[in-house]
Structure 1
Protein backbone atom coordinates (compact mmCIF):
# COMPACT_ATOMS: atom_id res chain seq x y z
CA UNK A 1 0.00 0.00 0.00
CA UNK A 2 1.72 3.20 -1.14
CA UNK A 3 -0.54 5.83 0.37
CA UNK A 4 -3.68 6.27 2.39
CA UNK A 5 -6.08 9.16 2.24
CA UNK A 6 -8.98 8.52 4.59
CA UNK A 7 -11.11 10.61 6.90
CA UNK A 8 -11.33 8.72 10.22
CA UNK A 9 -14.49 10.53 11.33
CA UNK A 10 -16.27 9.47 8.14
CA UNK A 11 -15.03 5.90 8.55
CA UNK A 12 -16.44 5.93 12.07
CA UNK A 13 -19.82 7.11 10.78
CA UNK A 14 -19.96 4.39 8.14
CA UNK A 15 -18.91 1.72 10.65
CA UNK A 16 -21.61 2.89 13.04
CA UNK A 17 -24.30 2.63 10.35
CA UNK A 18 -23.01 -0.77 9.23
CA UNK A 19 -23.00 -2.05 12.82
CA UNK A 20 -26.61 -0.91 13.25
CA UNK A 21 -27.60 -2.73 10.07
CA UNK A 22 -25.69 -5.86 11.17
CA UNK A 23 -27.52 -5.78 14.50
CA UNK A 24 -30.86 -5.74 12.68
CA UNK A 25 -29.75 -8.66 10.54
CA UNK A 26 -28.70 -10.55 13.65
CA UNK A 27 -32.08 -9.98 15.33
CA UNK A 28 -33.89 -11.16 12.21
CA UNK A 29 -31.72 -14.29 12.07
CA UNK A 30 -32.38 -15.04 15.73
CA UNK A 31 -36.11 -14.65 15.13
CA UNK A 32 -36.05 -17.11 12.25
CA UNK A 33 -33.98 -19.59 14.24
CA UNK A 34 -36.51 -19.37 17.06
CA UNK A 35 -39.65 -19.76 14.94
CA UNK A 36 -38.52 -22.13 12.18
CA UNK A 37 -38.74 -25.31 14.32
CA UNK A 38 -42.34 -24.57 15.32
CA UNK A 39 -43.19 -23.80 11.70
CA UNK A 40 -41.74 -27.15 10.66
CA UNK A 41 -43.74 -28.92 13.38
CA UNK A 42 -46.96 -27.18 12.37
CA UNK A 43 -46.47 -28.06 8.70
CA UNK A 44 -48.10 -31.46 9.14
CA UNK A 45 -46.97 -35.05 9.08
CA UNK A 46 -47.06 -37.96 6.69
CA UNK A 47 -49.09 -40.25 8.96
CA UNK A 48 -52.55 -40.03 10.48
CA UNK A 49 -53.42 -39.13 14.03
CA UNK A 50 -54.09 -42.75 15.02
CA UNK A 51 -50.65 -44.08 14.05
CA UNK A 52 -48.72 -42.92 17.11
CA UNK A 53 -45.89 -40.43 16.97
CA UNK A 54 -45.68 -39.28 13.39
CA UNK A 55 -42.49 -38.45 11.55
CA UNK A 56 -42.05 -35.04 10.03
CA UNK A 57 -43.84 -34.50 6.75
CA UNK A 58 -42.23 -33.33 3.53
CA UNK A 59 -42.71 -29.62 4.30
CA UNK A 60 -41.23 -30.03 7.79
CA UNK A 61 -38.32 -32.00 6.35
CA UNK A 62 -37.70 -29.33 3.72
CA UNK A 63 -37.77 -26.62 6.40
CA UNK A 64 -35.26 -28.58 8.50
CA UNK A 65 -32.96 -28.97 5.49
CA UNK A 66 -33.29 -25.27 4.75
CA UNK A 67 -32.50 -24.41 8.39
CA UNK A 68 -29.34 -26.54 8.35
CA UNK A 69 -27.99 -24.86 5.22
CA UNK A 70 -29.22 -21.42 6.18
CA UNK A 71 -27.64 -21.66 9.66
CA UNK A 72 -24.18 -22.21 8.18
CA UNK A 73 -24.65 -19.34 5.75
CA UNK A 74 -25.89 -17.06 8.51
CA UNK A 75 -22.89 -17.84 10.70
CA UNK A 76 -20.57 -17.15 7.77
CA UNK A 77 -22.19 -13.77 7.08
CA UNK A 78 -22.06 -12.84 10.78
CA UNK A 79 -18.38 -13.71 11.10
CA UNK A 80 -17.49 -12.03 7.81
CA UNK A 81 -19.36 -8.88 8.83
CA UNK A 82 -17.71 -8.76 12.25
CA UNK A 83 -14.24 -9.29 10.75
CA UNK A 84 -14.82 -6.56 8.18
CA UNK A 85 -16.10 -4.01 10.69
CA UNK A 86 -13.40 -4.79 13.26
CA UNK A 87 -10.68 -4.80 10.60
CA UNK A 88 -11.76 -1.42 9.23
CA UNK A 89 -11.86 0.04 12.75
CA UNK A 90 -8.42 -1.37 13.63
CA UNK A 91 -6.89 -0.21 10.35
CA UNK A 92 -8.30 3.27 10.93
CA UNK A 93 -6.89 3.35 14.49
CA UNK A 94 -3.45 2.42 13.19
CA UNK A 95 -3.76 5.02 10.44
CA UNK A 96 -4.55 7.71 13.04
CA UNK A 97 -1.53 6.56 15.09
CA UNK A 98 0.60 6.97 11.97
CA UNK A 99 1.51 3.28 11.67
CA UNK A 100 0.60 2.55 8.07
CA UNK A 101 2.24 -0.88 8.10
CA UNK A 102 0.08 -2.06 11.01
CA UNK A 103 -2.94 -0.43 9.36
CA UNK A 104 -2.28 -2.41 6.18
CA UNK A 105 -1.82 -5.61 8.26
CA UNK A 106 -5.14 -5.05 10.05
CA UNK A 107 -6.87 -4.47 6.74
CA UNK A 108 -5.31 -7.63 5.28
CA UNK A 109 -6.29 -9.78 8.31
CA UNK A 110 -9.90 -8.64 7.98
CA UNK A 111 -10.03 -10.23 4.54
CA UNK A 112 -9.22 -13.74 5.82
CA UNK A 113 -11.93 -16.37 5.40
CA UNK A 114 -13.85 -16.84 8.64
CA UNK A 115 -13.78 -20.29 10.23
CA UNK A 116 -17.30 -21.64 10.82
CA UNK A 117 -17.78 -24.32 13.49
CA UNK A 118 -21.30 -25.70 13.23
CA UNK A 119 -22.63 -27.61 16.23
CA UNK A 120 -22.53 -31.36 15.76
CA UNK A 121 -19.99 -31.36 12.95
CA UNK A 122 -17.13 -33.83 13.29
CA UNK A 123 -13.47 -32.92 12.93
CA UNK A 124 -12.30 -32.93 9.34
Structure 2
Protein backbone atom coordinates (compact mmCIF):
# COMPACT_ATOMS: atom_id res chain seq x y z
CA UNK A 1 0.00 0.00 0.00
CA UNK A 2 1.87 3.06 -1.22
CA UNK A 3 -0.62 5.82 -0.55
CA UNK A 4 -4.03 6.44 0.89
CA UNK A 5 -6.51 9.18 0.11
CA UNK A 6 -9.26 8.93 2.69
CA UNK A 7 -11.92 11.52 3.33
CA UNK A 8 -12.84 10.95 7.01
CA UNK A 9 -16.18 12.77 6.70
CA UNK A 10 -17.16 10.46 3.84
CA UNK A 11 -16.19 7.42 5.89
CA UNK A 12 -18.20 8.70 8.84
CA UNK A 13 -21.24 9.23 6.61
CA UNK A 14 -20.97 5.71 5.18
CA UNK A 15 -20.50 4.16 8.63
CA UNK A 16 -23.64 5.93 9.84
CA UNK A 17 -25.58 4.63 6.84
CA UNK A 18 -24.19 1.12 7.35
CA UNK A 19 -25.20 1.25 11.03
CA UNK A 20 -28.75 2.19 10.05
CA UNK A 21 -28.92 -0.67 7.54
CA UNK A 22 -27.48 -3.08 10.11
CA UNK A 23 -30.29 -2.03 12.46
CA UNK A 24 -32.82 -2.77 9.71
CA UNK A 25 -31.20 -6.16 9.19
CA UNK A 26 -31.39 -6.91 12.92
CA UNK A 27 -35.11 -6.13 12.91
CA UNK A 28 -35.64 -8.35 9.85
CA UNK A 29 -33.73 -11.25 11.43
CA UNK A 30 -35.69 -10.94 14.67
CA UNK A 31 -38.92 -10.92 12.65
CA UNK A 32 -37.76 -14.01 10.76
CA UNK A 33 -37.06 -15.84 14.02
CA UNK A 34 -40.39 -14.77 15.47
CA UNK A 35 -42.34 -15.74 12.35
CA UNK A 36 -40.60 -19.11 12.06
CA UNK A 37 -41.30 -19.83 15.71
CA UNK A 38 -44.96 -18.91 15.26
CA UNK A 39 -45.20 -21.02 12.09
CA UNK A 40 -43.66 -24.01 13.86
CA UNK A 41 -46.13 -23.70 16.72
CA UNK A 42 -49.12 -23.11 14.44
CA UNK A 43 -48.30 -26.13 12.27
CA UNK A 44 -49.34 -28.39 15.11
CA UNK A 45 -48.21 -31.93 15.75
CA UNK A 46 -48.70 -35.38 14.34
CA UNK A 47 -49.98 -36.47 17.76
CA UNK A 48 -53.78 -36.74 18.05
CA UNK A 49 -55.79 -35.10 20.80
CA UNK A 50 -54.51 -34.29 24.27
CA UNK A 51 -51.35 -36.37 23.84
CA UNK A 52 -49.89 -33.32 22.07
CA UNK A 53 -49.89 -31.42 25.36
CA UNK A 54 -47.23 -33.68 26.88
CA UNK A 55 -43.87 -31.91 26.67
CA UNK A 56 -41.36 -33.60 24.42
CA UNK A 57 -37.73 -32.84 23.68
CA UNK A 58 -38.46 -30.60 20.70
CA UNK A 59 -35.61 -29.47 18.53
CA UNK A 60 -34.85 -25.82 18.87
CA UNK A 61 -33.03 -23.31 16.73
CA UNK A 62 -32.27 -19.66 17.39
CA UNK A 63 -35.13 -17.68 18.90
CA UNK A 64 -35.84 -13.97 18.47
CA UNK A 65 -35.35 -11.73 21.46
CA UNK A 66 -38.38 -11.86 23.73
CA UNK A 67 -39.83 -15.01 22.13
CA UNK A 68 -40.55 -18.24 23.94
CA UNK A 69 -38.29 -21.09 22.76
CA UNK A 70 -40.11 -23.82 20.85
CA UNK A 71 -39.32 -26.39 23.52
CA UNK A 72 -41.29 -24.33 26.06
CA UNK A 73 -44.46 -24.17 23.96
CA UNK A 74 -45.41 -27.83 24.07
CA UNK A 75 -44.96 -30.40 21.35
CA UNK A 76 -44.16 -29.49 17.81
CA UNK A 77 -44.74 -31.72 14.85
CA UNK A 78 -42.68 -32.51 11.79
CA UNK A 79 -43.14 -29.04 10.28
CA UNK A 80 -41.97 -27.39 13.48
CA UNK A 81 -39.00 -29.72 13.71
CA UNK A 82 -38.07 -29.01 10.09
CA UNK A 83 -38.27 -25.25 10.62
CA UNK A 84 -36.17 -25.58 13.74
CA UNK A 85 -33.55 -27.61 11.89
CA UNK A 86 -33.54 -25.07 9.07
CA UNK A 87 -32.81 -22.24 11.51
CA UNK A 88 -30.14 -24.27 13.29
CA UNK A 89 -28.36 -24.86 9.98
CA UNK A 90 -28.58 -21.14 9.10
CA UNK A 91 -27.39 -19.91 12.50
CA UNK A 92 -23.72 -20.19 11.48
CA UNK A 93 -24.35 -18.18 8.31
CA UNK A 94 -26.32 -15.52 10.15
CA UNK A 95 -23.65 -15.21 12.84
CA UNK A 96 -20.94 -14.92 10.18
CA UNK A 97 -22.94 -12.19 8.45
CA UNK A 98 -23.28 -10.19 11.67
CA UNK A 99 -19.57 -10.63 12.45
CA UNK A 100 -18.53 -9.46 8.97
CA UNK A 101 -20.67 -6.33 9.24
CA UNK A 102 -19.25 -5.56 12.67
CA UNK A 103 -15.67 -6.18 11.49
CA UNK A 104 -16.16 -3.97 8.44
CA UNK A 105 -17.53 -1.09 10.50
CA UNK A 106 -14.93 -1.36 13.27
CA UNK A 107 -12.10 -1.86 10.77
CA UNK A 108 -13.12 1.13 8.66
CA UNK A 109 -13.45 3.34 11.73
CA UNK A 110 -10.14 2.24 13.22
CA UNK A 111 -8.24 2.42 9.92
CA UNK A 112 -9.60 5.91 9.29
CA UNK A 113 -8.66 7.06 12.81
CA UNK A 114 -5.12 5.72 12.35
CA UNK A 115 -4.91 7.39 8.94
CA UNK A 116 -5.93 10.73 10.44
CA UNK A 117 -3.25 10.30 13.13
CA UNK A 118 -0.69 9.54 10.42
CA UNK A 119 -0.05 5.90 11.37
CA UNK A 120 -0.44 4.12 8.04
CA UNK A 121 0.95 0.83 9.36
CA UNK A 122 -1.68 0.70 12.12
CA UNK A 123 -4.31 1.65 9.54
CA UNK A 124 -3.23 -1.28 7.36
CA UNK A 125 -3.34 -3.63 10.36
CA UNK A 126 -6.90 -2.51 11.11
CA UNK A 127 -7.86 -3.00 7.48
CA UNK A 128 -6.32 -6.50 7.47
CA UNK A 129 -8.09 -7.39 10.72
CA UNK A 130 -11.40 -6.32 9.20
CA UNK A 131 -10.76 -8.42 6.07
CA UNK A 132 -10.05 -11.51 8.15
CA UNK A 133 -12.97 -10.77 10.55
CA UNK A 134 -10.67 -10.58 13.58
CA UNK A 135 -13.12 -8.88 15.93
CA UNK A 136 -10.83 -9.57 18.88
CA UNK A 137 -8.09 -7.41 17.31
CA UNK A 138 -10.51 -4.66 16.37
CA UNK A 139 -12.29 -4.46 19.73
CA UNK A 140 -9.24 -4.78 21.96
CA UNK A 141 -7.05 -2.28 20.12
CA UNK A 142 -7.21 1.43 20.88
CA UNK A 143 -10.02 3.13 19.01
CA UNK A 144 -11.84 -0.11 18.22
CA UNK A 145 -13.91 -0.55 21.37
CA UNK A 146 -17.65 0.03 21.28
TM tier, shorter chain?
Answer: 0.7 to 0.9
Matches within 5 A, 1:22-33: 22-33=22-33
Match of 2:95 in 1: 75
1:109 paired to 2:129: yes
Q: Please report the RMSD computed on the Cα atoms of aligned residues, expressed in angstroms.
A: 1.9
Cα distance in 2 for residues equivalent to 1:24 and 1:56: 30
Matches within 5 A, 1:54-65: 56-65=76-85
The 1:52–1:87 alpha-carbon spacing in structure 2 relative to 1, beyond 3 Å, is: closer
Cα distance in 2 for residues equivalent to 1:34 and 1:80: 23
Match of 1:38 in 2: 38
Structure 1 length-normalised TM? 0.82
Match of 1:20 in 2: 20
Secondary structure at the counterpart of residue 56 of structure 1: coil
Structure 2 portions without partners, runs of 5+ = 55-74, 136-146
Structure 2 length-normalised TM? 0.70
- Alpha-carbon offset, residue 50 of structure 1: 4.7
Secondary structure at the counterpart of residue 45 of structure 2: coil
Structure 1 portions without partners, runs of 5+ = 116-124
After superposition, the C-alpha distances for 1:21-73 in whole angstroms (9 at most, x for unaligned) are: 01110122122223422321111211211545475322212111111122222
Equivalent residues, number: 115
